């Protein structure tokens, strides 16, 4: 309880806005005002304690982002150490002629006890510390921070695409996606800050060398010229004081450099560093066994330090045996008592109930993929499929039928099929022990693995080992597991064929739900004005063009109004689209007031209208060259819009909209075809392309 009160008071003090100004004033005071030796002792001790706390926090933190304040803390600690160097330099140069205790007990202890009062030894120890800090730790940490920052920035687009894929597949909701995006931004900011903060440590090491040289030369001159000390006495006093001061500063600097190196080399997985090292270093008992055998052989050689080698060999061999026994125990499979075979039952006659109906949605898997859908074996695919059904049902406005999953021995062990009403609409082969690295269009290297394609979108991909995930993400790949691959493929097929899943039972259920709030509206529509089949056809037409049917009330009102004029499903669909114009525009272009559109040349429109009127059956028989040219021009205009980050919208006359939509539906799926009647009055049209013959 007392610890919690202390933490609460510290947080309140920091939140009150006083911590930063007080710390800054204290740093300036150490630089400007002379400090007594006792205060120097306290501050040097505090500096060492602070460095130890920072290093231990870097060790015990589970994830680098959990210590996101490290770059700021590193800068503050570096400034504190430099301010102490300035303060101690002032005391050493002013009072160094009085003896080695002039700058406090801490500096004297490091000068006398740590190096035995021998400044030659002090020079060597200081030089070794500087070399370790500057050449080894700081340089390595700086390089890792630079590479981590670059790879983190390069992998951001791939990570964003992975989040969008999970969101579209229904695996996460908007809040989870927002949290993941925020984590990616925090990771980018952290490694970018670490790239700069590592320069503080490197500069501090250089400053330590220069301060040492300046103190020795300046102290020697002051001692001889101003205080009439002998050359030997001046060299002894000022050198020991300077080296003690340098050692007191270099040890915290080395601790901070080590903390920076530990933090940037940490894995992004949330795991204690000690557990992670032990689990990976001693995972295989063979390494310990072979090492122990080598040490035992060295211990038997005459003239070698036999006892230390033999003790380590025995300890390592014992540890290897214990690890091996523990792994055997964990891998032991309990024997299952075979059940008694039941006596065969007499076969009954075949009946109608034995004929199973065709499943609206089916997922057939090979036998090696069964663990993915078996909850008893830890499979998560069933939960993901439930999330997909829920998300698509909420987006489209009707209940997607359940997905029936079964194994199929006729398939390859690692293959699966997605069927709608018994017809296969998608199939692929996956590798359950691997992960798929998808090339989103711009990557920075090649990966070792099995080449393949993303079954949902046809993008180039590589099946990699799970331990290559971070490396692949750093090179710009979007890495997903097998569950996500199958779930995304299923989601894509359900969205593309939602109109095939809307049957009369679903339409009747929609009308029954509407009747609870608007009974007269439904009562006058079916079957008085229109048959249920016609309502189903109109709703299917809307779904086929990716228009949700959530607003059943507006759709029903439009059908009731248009039914008396023209009960043809195509005319009813056109009238319904006009009533849903605000929803359609928002679906394809958001809430922007500016609407960029692609238009057809008037001459081309007249040719198409004349061709449609000549056939009279709702279809057009175009000359092949004209059809190919128009298709090519539309495709190029769509690609330009997508590259500029805007929606591709083609606006034509009402009589052409349905035919052109069918003409480009499968070849240019990202091009939305609207009629001029479907554009709301509050939208400002901006023509971005005109397609001619």
CB-based contacts of 350, cutoff 8 Å, min separation 6? none
CATH number at residue 617: 3.40.50.12790
CATH number at residue 470: 3.40.30.60
Residues 137/55, Cβ–Cβ less than 8 Å: no
Instruction: Report the C-alpha gap between 37 and 56 in whole angstroms.
Output: 29
- C-alpha distances in Å from residue 135, one per residue of 127, 245, 550, 588: 11, 21, 65, 57
CA pseudo-torsion sign 29, 31, 34, 38: positive
Q: Is residue 255 part of a domain?
A: yes
Instruction: Report the C-alpha gap between 210 and 667 in whole angstroms.
Output: 70
Residues 244/107, Cβ–Cβ less than 8 Å: yes
Domain ends where: 218, 247, 278? Answer: 278
Average pLDDT per 10 consecutive residues for the chain, totaling 693 residues:
51 54 72 75 82 82 77 80 79 68 67 61 73 72 70 69 70 77 76 71 73 77 76 73 75 79 66 61 74 80 77 82 76 46 56 77 92 84 90 93 89 93 93 92 87 91 92 91 93 93 92 90 84 93 92 92 89 92 89 90 87 67 82 91 88 89 87 91 89 81
HEC letters along 508-524: HHHHHHHHCCCHHHHHC
**Torsion, CA 290, CA 293, CA 294, CA 298, rounded to 10:** 170
- Same domain for 141 and 251, yes or no, is yes
Residue 18 has what pLDDT?
Answer: 64
When divided into structural domains, the chain yields a total of 5
Pick the closest to residue 573 from 641, 644, 661 (CA basis). Answer: 661
Q: How far is CA 42 from the centre of its chain?
A: 45
User: What count of other Cβ atoms lies within 10 Å of the Cβ of residue 422?
Assistant: 10
Burial of 173 (0-12, 13-18, 19+ CB in 10 A): middle
Q: How far apart are the first and last CA of the chain?
A: 81
Q: Structural domain of residue 638, as residue ranges?
A: 581-693
Q: Is residue 333 part of a domain?
A: no
Q: Is residue 540 part of a domain?
A: yes
- Same domain for 59 and 148, yes or no, is yes
Q: How far is CA 684 from the centre of its chain?
A: 38
Q: Is residue 29 part of a domain?
A: no
Q: 424: which 2 tokens?
A: 């296969």
Q: Is residue 379 part of a domain?
A: yes
Q: Is residue 480 part of a domain?
A: yes
Q: Is residue 655 part of a domain?
A: yes
- Same domain for 295 and 371, yes or no, is no
- Same domain for 162 and 232, yes or no, is yes
- Same domain for 239 and 142, yes or no, is yes
Instruction: Report the C-alpha gap between 166 and 37 in whole angstroms.
Output: 62
The SS3 call for residue 416 is strand
Q: Is residue 40 part of a domain?
A: yes
Residue 274 has what pLDDT?
Answer: 59
Residue 335 has what pLDDT?
Answer: 41
- Same domain for 191 and 266, yes or no, is yes
- Same domain for 606 and 689, yes or no, is yes
- Same domain for 519 and 491, yes or no, is no
Domain ends where: 498, 528, 552? Answer: 498
DSSP assignments along 66-106, one per residue: GGTTHHHHHHHHHHHHHHHHHHHHHHHHHHGGG-TTTT-HH
- Same domain for 487 and 547, yes or no, is no
Residue at token pair 């700086």: 142
- Same domain for 266 and 363, yes or no, is no
Residue 576 has what pLDDT?
Answer: 93
Domain ends where: 553, 579, 605? Answer: 579
Residue 334 has what pLDDT?
Answer: 38
- Same domain for 398 and 432, yes or no, is yes
- Same domain for 93 and 219, yes or no, is yes
């Amino acid at each position: 309880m007392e610890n919690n009160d202390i933490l609460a008071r510290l947080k309140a003090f920091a939140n009150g806005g006083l911590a930063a100004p007080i710390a800054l004033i204290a740093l300036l005071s150490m630089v400007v005002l002379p400090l007594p030796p006792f205060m120097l002792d306290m501050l040097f001790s505090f500096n060492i304690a602070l460095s130890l706390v920072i290093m231990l926090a870097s060790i015990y933190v589970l994830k680098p982002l959990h210590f996101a304040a490290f770059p700021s803390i590193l800068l503050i600690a570096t400034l504190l150490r430099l301010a102490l160097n300035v303060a101690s330099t002032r005391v050493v140069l002013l009072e160094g002629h009085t003896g080695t205790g002039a700058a406090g007990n801490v500096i004297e202890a490091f000068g006398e006890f740590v190096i035995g009062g021998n400044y030659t030894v002090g020079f060597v120890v200081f030089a070794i510390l500087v070399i370790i800090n500057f050449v080894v730790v700081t340089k390595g940490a700086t390089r890792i921070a630079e590479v981590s920052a670059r790879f983190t920035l390069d992998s951001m687009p791939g990570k964003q695409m992975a989040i969008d894929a999970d969101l579209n597949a229904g695996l996460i909701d908007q809040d989870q996606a927002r949290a993941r995006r925020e984590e990616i931004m925090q990771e980018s900011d952290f490694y970018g800050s670490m790239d700069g903060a590592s320069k503080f440590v490197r500069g501090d090491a250089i400053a330590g060398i220069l301060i040492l040289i300046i103190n020795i030369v300046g102290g020697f001159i002051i001692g001889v010229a101003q205080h009439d000390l002998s050359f030997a006495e001046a060299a002894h006093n000022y050198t020991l004081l300077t080296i003690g001061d340098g050692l007191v500063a270099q040890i915290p600097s080395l601790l901070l450099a080590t903390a920076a190196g530990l933090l940037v080399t940490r894995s992004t997985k949330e795991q204690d560093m000690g557990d992670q090292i032990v689990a990976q270093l001693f995972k295989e008992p063979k390494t310990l066994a072979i090492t122990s055998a080598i040490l035992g052989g060295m211990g038997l050689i005459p003239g070698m330090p036999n006892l230390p080698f033999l003790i380590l060999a025995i300890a390592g061999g014992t540890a290897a045996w214990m690890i091996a026994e523990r792994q055997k125990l964990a891998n032991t499979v309990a024997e299952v008592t075979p059940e008694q075979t039941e006596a065969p039952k007499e076969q009954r006659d075949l009946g109608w109930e034995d004929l199973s109906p065709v499943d609206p949605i089916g997922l057939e898997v090979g036998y090696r993929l069964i663990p993915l859908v078996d909850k008893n074996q830890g499979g998560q695919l069933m939960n993901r499929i439930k999330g997909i059904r829920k998300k698509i049902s909420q987006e489209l406005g009707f209940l997607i039928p359940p997905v029936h999953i079964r194994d199929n021995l006729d398939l390859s062990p690692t293959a699966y099929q997605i069927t709608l009403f018994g017809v296969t609409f998608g199939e692929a082969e996956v590798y359950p022990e691997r992960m798929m690295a998808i090339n989103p269009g711009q990557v920075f290297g090649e990966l070792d693995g099995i080449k393949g394609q993303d079954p949902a979108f046809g993008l180039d991909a590589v099946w990699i080992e799970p331990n290559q995930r971070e490396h692949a993400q750093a090179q710009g790949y979007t890495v997903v597991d097998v569950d996500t691959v199958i779930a995304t493929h299923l989601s894509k097929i359900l969205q593309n064929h939602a109109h095939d899943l809307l049957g009369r039972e679903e339409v009747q259920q929609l009308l029954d739900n509407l009747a609870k709030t608007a009974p007269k509206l439904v009562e006058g529509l079916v079957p008085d004005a229109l048959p249920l089949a016609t309502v189903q056809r109109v709703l299917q037409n809307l779904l086929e063009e990716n228009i949700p049917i959530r607003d059943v009330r507006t759709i029903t009102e439009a059908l009731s109004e248009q039914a008396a004029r023209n009960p043809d499903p195509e005319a009813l669909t056109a009238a319904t689209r006009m009533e849903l114009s605000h929803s359609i525009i928002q679906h394809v272009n958001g809430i922007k007031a500016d609407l960029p559109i692609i238009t057809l040349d008037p001459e081309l429109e007249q040719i198409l209208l004349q061709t449609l009127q000549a056939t009279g059956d709702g279809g057009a028989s175009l000359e092949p060259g004209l059809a190919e040219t128009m298709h090519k021009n539309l495709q190029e205009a769509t690609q330009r819009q997508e590259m500029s980050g805007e929606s591709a919208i083609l606006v034509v006359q009402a009589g052409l909209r349905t035919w052109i939509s069918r003409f480009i539906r499968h070849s240019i799926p990202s091009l939305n075809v609207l009629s001029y009647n479907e554009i709301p009055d509050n939208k400002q049209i901006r023509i971005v392309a005109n397609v001619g013959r």
